[in-house]
Structure 1
Amino acid sequence: MRIPFDTMKTRFTEILLKHGFILDKAHHCARIFTENSLDGVYTHGLNRFPTFISMIQEGLVDYEAVPELEGTNGLIEQWNGKLGPGMLNAEFCMARAISLAGEHGIGCVAIRNTNHWMRGGTYGWQAANDGFIGICFTNTIANVPPWGGIDPRLGNNPLVIAVP
């Protein structure tokens, strides 16, 4: 079954609005979920959307949260995501890194207390499309056993490197 891009994005937006999102944040989240599906990354698009809604309902994602600056030193910033939607926090942080890089030649932004950023490549494209090299990484829940082990103890630590 094929769902047109605009149909999927509109439906995602409607659902997010029903769960309390303001229009701008709903549009941003819906766009990222839909673009991930369009690019064939359904695990972080259409297939992940119901889990995202469940996390909102369980109070694990605060759709009203706004990142708060905790520290800065020239080209480096540290933010508290306040459990806001991971994709919005990641998009915000990449925008800050791009701004810092424009000012200093390099920008480094870290965020804590956030949620799943969905497909990390989204933020690599964000940097590359603005003419910057982007390097993004995160940790995950323990999902890989160490060498010789049986039980997961390590995250798979997604890494993105994007060049314009």
Structure 2
Amino acid sequence: MRVEQTPLKDCYIIHNTVFKDNRGYFFESFNQQKFAELTGLDVHFIQDNQSSSVKGVLRGLHFQKGDAAQAKLVRVLQGSVLDVAVDLRKDSLTYGQHFSIELSDESNTQLFIPRGFAHGFVVLSDVAVFFYKCDNFYNKAAEGGLMYNDPQLDIDWKLPAEELILSEKDLVNPLLKDIS
């Protein structure tokens, strides 16, 4: 495992060591001890989630508020996505900034997103299976959203707007300037 700091504080790219041979491949997708040693963060994951989506589906930008905030470790089991993290921590030097990375089943790269961030992804392949670990349980009363096409964020989702498929909920999320 190799950890790379993104431009956003406490947000890390995790590069896994993949062992391949004529049978296929193997890699350790998470090791608590190595993660803590390489990042200095003490995170304990307690919930795993998985989704399957077709090309153009954009899920996000989502976050959990207050005591229900979640850190996430995300990866793609099948296909490829553009994954986006937005720093919503008002006391952060990178508040309002975003980071994006293409994650795929071929790269086996993961992204660690700390508490206090919004997160979303768009499917770039025909189908993608997306998997993530959370360090806090989902709480519907604490869910929040951020408009995916907020001009202040200026996120390049890598697909034309007319190809994006969003839920009704994600089409009415507030702008960053309107989030308290």
- What TM-score comes out, normalization by structure 1 length? 0.29
Between structures 1 and 2, the one with greater strand share: 2
Between structures 1 and 2, the one with greater helix share: 1
- What TM-score comes out, normalization by structure 2 length? 0.27
